[in-house]
Structure formats: structure tokens, C-alpha cells
Amino acid sequence: MIGASAMDRGARVDQIQRRANRIRERILRMAATQGQGYVGQGLGCADILSALYFDQLRYRADDLQWPERDRFLLSAGHYAIALYAALIEAGMIPEAEMETYGADDSRLPMNGMAPYTPGMEITGGSLGHGLGLAVGMCLGLRLRGIHSRVFAFVSDGEIDEGSTWEAVMSASHFKLENLIAIIDVNNQQADGPSKQILGFEPLVSKFEAFGWFSQRVDGNRVEELLDALDAACSHAERRPRVVVCDTLLGKGVPFLEKREKAHFMRVDPAEWELALQQL
Ligand SMILES: [Mg+2]
């Protein structure tokens, strides 16, 4: 796509914010068709997906199997609603398919299924596998002499999984300079607040200790996010990179930001219009 990095920084920030807003709107409209969904996570990560799909990633919307494309791996497969919204915005999925979201035979099931969905690289979940898949993919690309980057989006709940840390160690061992992990720290997982379920801080120090180039930003502040992604992608050393992103569940819709226990949200029929208005 797009060559956004050739634009000036202000224009890049504007574009990411504008498209993030459209991603959020689509998340709400899709979820409204079912009355429920992983809405909080979707709204929380919309800025990240926008920054990736409309600034950082190299891809061809009309050639999804282009070998040189950057890969985006959604390890947290239950965030699929946000990825669908980004893929629609990117022109890989027709807008009209939104109304099929979550229905039988839809290409947009509630939990992501890569074989069903154009532009979706992996089926994320069982959780904790995406970073390992990313490591394998980086090694495979290296063997084929392809210089694509692999962006792995991992939820904070997945930090609990031993398989994630095997991948962290392996990525460092193999000096995977084309691997960029994004950790979405929304402090929420199915069973409660992530940091209470199994403490994982200080996360940046842990990644550093494993040999990664590590940064932490507010994942809902586009300027910070953009600078961190630029720094991650241009870092000169041969080692993997991580951007830990603190995000707010339900970001952009005030009454959803404040809702308690929001891992899987049910929203009353009358509230969807209110959510869209608040957005
Ligand atoms: Mg989480």
C-alpha cells in the first residue's frame, strides 16, 4: 500500500486517527448485528490496527498472497471483529459483508478462522500460540530470502502461557530482526484483571532481559504509537522488537470504557445507537 511513511508526521497521525474511528464504527455496527461480542478489546486496539494497516504494513489489497507482503498475525483470535473492521477499511473484505458477522456460513465468524477470511494470516487461539507461529514464519521467510516483516499481536492474557516465553527466547536466539511483537495490555482476560490473575510486570524489563529491543507506549495515543513503531522498524541491531501497548478496553465510547467486567460485552439493543453517537 500507501507509502504512508513518506508523508509528514502530522498527516500520518491524522490518517491513522481517521481510519481508527472508522474501524471503531464498524466494530459497533458488526457487534450490533449479534447484540454482543469482543467489543471492548476491538475498540481498545483500533488505534494499533489503524497504525499498522494504514501506516506500517506493506501489502497489496488486490493480491493477498503477494509473497513480499508483511504478515500481521492476530494471536488473540477473539479480537477478530477488530481485524475484520481493519480489513474492510483496507479494501480486502467488502463492506456489505458486515451484516453477516457471526452468522452461519459467514466469512466473518465471531472467533477468527483464517481459512474463511480474506487477509487473515492465521487462526489465533488456542491462545498463546501466535508468537510461536510468528517465529516459525520469520525463519521460513529467511530461508526463502524474503525480507518481509512479521507483526504478531498478542494479548496480555497470553503472557501467562509458557509457549509465549519459549517463542520470546527463540526469537532472540535466532536474531529475528524482522519480528515485531505488539502486546496489548488492557489488563483484562476472561477470568478477570490480567495483572491479578498472574502478575507479569515489569514486562519491558523481561523482554529486554530476553534480548529484545523493547518499548512501552500508551496504545491509544497515536503519536506515541507511531514513534514507537517507527523506532521498532528502523532499529539497527539484529534482534526482535516489541512494543508493549497499554490500552483502554472500550476506548472511544465513554459508557463502555466505564463498564465493569467487559471481557465479553453484551449491549442492550437501545445502547448501540448511543455507542455510535458517543463515538
Ligand atoms: Mg487482555
211-255 pLDDT per residue, tens = 999 999 999 999 999 999 999 999 999 999 999 999 999 999 999
Measured in Å, residue 264 CA sits from the centre of ligand 1 at 11
Assess whether the previous peptide bond of 126 is cis (omega < 30° from 0).
yes
Q: What is the whole-number distance in angstroms between the Cα of residue 176 and the centre of ligand 1?
A: 25
Q: Tell how far the Cα of 134 is from the centroid of ligand 1, in angstroms.
A: 19
pLDDT score of 17:
98
In the reported structure, the alpha carbon of residue 219 is separated from the centroid of ligand 1 by a whole-number distance in angstroms of 13
Per-residue model confidence as pLDDT tens digits over 184-201: 999 999 889 999 999 999
In this prediction, residue 42 carries a pLDDT of: 96
Closest to 185 (Cα-Cα) out of 202, 171, 172: 202
Q: How far is the CA of 139 from the centre of ligand 1 (A)?
A: 28
Span 58-78, average pLDDT: 97
Rounded mean pLDDT, 173-189 = 97
143 alpha carbon – ligand 1 mean position (Å): 34
CA of 222 to the centre of ligand 1 (A): 20
User: Ligand 1 mean position to 40 CA, how many Å?
Assistant: 10
Q: What is the DSSP letter of 69?
A: P
- pLDDT of residue 1 exceeding 80: no
Question: What is the rounded average pLDDT for all residues in the chain?
Answer: 95
Confidence at residue 159, expressed as pLDDT on a 0 to 100 scale = 97
Do 44 and 250 contact (CB within 8 A), yes or no? yes
Looking at residue 260, its pLDDT comes to 73
Note whether 54 and 60 are within 8 A (CB). Answer: no
Please check whether residue 188 is in contact with residue 249, taking contact to mean a CB–CB distance below 8 angstroms. yes
Question: What is the 175 CA–ligand 1 centroid distance (Å)?
Answer: 27
Cell of 55: 501506516
184 CA → ligand 1 middle, Å: 7
pLDDT at position 27 is 96
Query: How sure is the predictor about 261, in pLDDT bands with cuts at 50, 70 and 90?
Result: low
How far apart CA 53 and CA 69 sit, in angstroms, is 12
CA 66 – ligand 1 centroid, Å: 32
Q: How far is the CA of 247 from the centre of ligand 1 (A)?
A: 9
- Ligand 1 centroid from CA 110, angstroms: 17
In this prediction, residues 46-53 reach a mean pLDDT of 98
Which grid coordinates belong to 96?
456489505
Give the pLDDT band (50/70/90) at residue 4: low
Residue 59 has pLDDT above 90, yes or no: yes
Q: How far is the CA of 166 from the centre of ligand 1 (A)?
A: 20
**Distance of CA 16 from the midpoint of ligand 1 (Å):** 23
Ligand 1: distance of its center to the CA of 158 in Å? Answer: 8
- Whether residue 2 is predicted with pLDDT greater than 80 in this model: the reply is no
